[in-house]
Structure 1
Amino acid sequence: MANVQQFLDILEDSAPSALAAGWDNVGLLVGSPHSNVNAVLLGLDPTLALITEAKVLAADLIITHHPAIFHPLKCLRTDQPGSAFLAAALRAGISVISCHTNFDAAPGGVSDTLADALGLMATAPLAADKADPCCGTGRIGSLPEPLSAEDFLAKLRAALPLPWLLEAGPRPEAVARAAVCGGSCADLAETALAVGADVFITAEVKHHTARWAEEAGLWLLDGGHFATENPSMSRLRQQLAERTRQAGLNVRIHLAAQESPLRLVPQNFLKE
């Protein structure tokens, strides 16, 4: 019988907690390391719907990317989002692990998933970890051959399930090197330009960063937080399935069918 500690060990080996940002909160957030695990449910976000799905699948461990506890708790109000998730997990006897910025920075994590989807070669971190330069936030790499901006957009649309795409800055004549960083990484835009990126794909680009890109000459693409991070959850499922098989653990690994909380307003509404 597998237990929570074995999954903590597997995650520590593939995405060490030392890679997590100092402000982050990763690891076991609900439950005991000694609790048994028959099935695991993976999801990007800790939502009440995830608890419901875990019950249906008889999953006794949930692993999310975004932490169920991020800011220090001052109370546990079960009538409010966040706290309601924690209370529901406790009532159901479901353990909860977060694998957040450590999975962003780890080999085979969020940024590598994006880089691989675009076929980038000879990739390196945008912001390398001081202790392990092979790890770090974001990735930059070269395309097999330069593409026009229009062809690069077509490649991006084919590679990622993007519900929308915002752009700032001038489109280059050719894209030879691309930088990627899933989630809120717009603060790495200057780094991407400094290391020779023709385009930088990330999410949640702020107004002043878009203006900077316009002036600095960097093509900046915002594909949304969910869309740039969620594909990596499928890869995490594959990693966990392989590691549990190698360890001889008979544990089912499920992937939640989550969708972005943001959606586009219909065009006909905007024309009225």
Structure 2
Amino acid sequence: MSTPTPLSEITSLLHSWYPPHTADDWDAVGLVAGDPEQGVTKVMFAVDVTAEVAAEAAEWGADLLVVHHPLFLKAVHSVAATTPKGRTLATLARAGCALLTAHTNADRAVGGVSESLARALGLEEVEPILNDPGVAISSSRSSCRPTRQRSCERRSPRQAPGRSATTTSRPSPPTGSAASVRSRAPTR
């Protein structure tokens, strides 16, 4: 059995990849629910946190659910289990599963959602359509170079059709951790 990693360490790692301060002002990112000192051995990823996703995370025994779209964007006056969002959160809480959101901060991160989509489409020499004022552009990268980006535009097609998309390397999880990871694609 693997040694649990404190949620605070995993949160710090995710925030180093997708800094919360880079999210749009209206966005709600970061740790939504959970005790930063709780141990984490199993992490599940999903696009949206729905009742079904929360139930799957609970059934699988996830200690952390990381989602792209926030559960709460507007002011909330109740998280009672009598409401859909309250039931979703209650399902996670009963299972001891924390919830973390990375939305617009993950969209614009170097190696994040926008850059990954551009690479998957075979685009090269991409740059932000809209750059945030005062944000430095890194000269050490040849694609999606800003440290904050909204989305990428096409500059030239990939030279070798059919080549698989490349991935950006990330720092390793904290030493001594061997967390299980599960990814869930959205269902239509």
Output the TM-score relative to the length of structure 2: 0.81
Higher relative contact order (CA 8 A, sep 6+): 2
Q: Per-residue deviation at 1:45?
A: 0.3
Counterpart of 1:253, as a letter, is V
Report runs of 4+ in structure 1 exceeding 4 Å deviation: none
Point out the structure with the larger strand share.
Answer: 1
Percent sequence identity over matched residues?
A: 28
Instruction: Mark the structure with the bigger radius of gyration.
Output: 1
SS in structure 2 of the partner of residue 29 of structure 1:
strand
Q: List gaps (5 residues or longer) in structure 1.
A: 147-154, 160-234, 261-272
| Residue 25 of structure 1 pairs with residue 25 of structure 2 | no
Name the structure 1 match of 2:117: 114
Distance, in Å, in 1 between the alignment partners of 2:16 and 2:154 is: 25
Determine whether 1:61 maps to 2:64: yes
From the two aligned structures, give the one with the greater helix fraction: 1
3-state DSSP of counterpart to 2:56: helix
1:143 aligns with 2:71: no
Deviation at 1:25, TM superposition (A): 0.6
Structure 2 residue 108 is the aligned partner of structure 1 residue 105: yes
Q: State the 1:145 CA deviation.
A: 7.0
Equivalent-residue separation in structure 2 for 1:101 and 1:145 (angstroms): 26
Give 1:66 shift.
0.6
Separation of aligned partners in 2, 1:109 and 1:53: 25
Q: Which residue of 1 aligns with 2:172?
A: 243
Are 1:53 and 1:256, in contact at CA under 8 Å, matched by a contact in 2? no
Question: 2:142 — aligned with what?
Answer: none
TM-score by length of 1: 0.57
Q: Distance in 1 between matches of 2:18 and 2:187?
A: 24
1:92 aligns with 2:110: no
Determine if the alignment matches structure 1 residue 126 to structure 2 residue 126. no
| Equivalent residues of 1:4, 1:33 under 8 A apart | yes
The AA in structure 2 aligned to 1:249 is S
Q: Is the 8 A contact 2:58 2:91 kept in 1?
A: no
Matches within 5 A, 1:1-272: 1-130=4-133, 131-133=135-137, 134=146, 135-144=148-157, 243-244=172-173, 247-260=175-188
> Secondary structure of 2:110's partner?
coil
Residue 107 of structure 1 deviates from its aligned partner by 1.0
Report how far residue 55 of structure 1 moved.
Answer: 2.3
Q: Is the CA contact (8 Å cut-off) linking 2:55 and 2:91 kept in structure 1?
A: no
Name the CA distance, whole Å, in 1 between partners of 2:62 and 2:90: 16
How large is the Cα RMSD of the aligned pairs?
2.5
Q: In structure 2, list runs of 5 or more residues that go unmatched.
A: 138-145
Question: Residues 41 and 63 of structure 1 are in contact (CA less than 8 Å); yes or no, is this contact kept in structure 2?
Answer: yes
Per-residue Cα deviation, 1:180-218 (whole angstroms, up to 9, x for no partner): xxxxxxxxxxxxxxxxxxxxxxxxxxxxxxxxxxxxxxx
Query: In the aligned structure 2, how far is the partner of 1:48 from the partner of 1:57?
Result: 14
SS at match of 1:63: strand
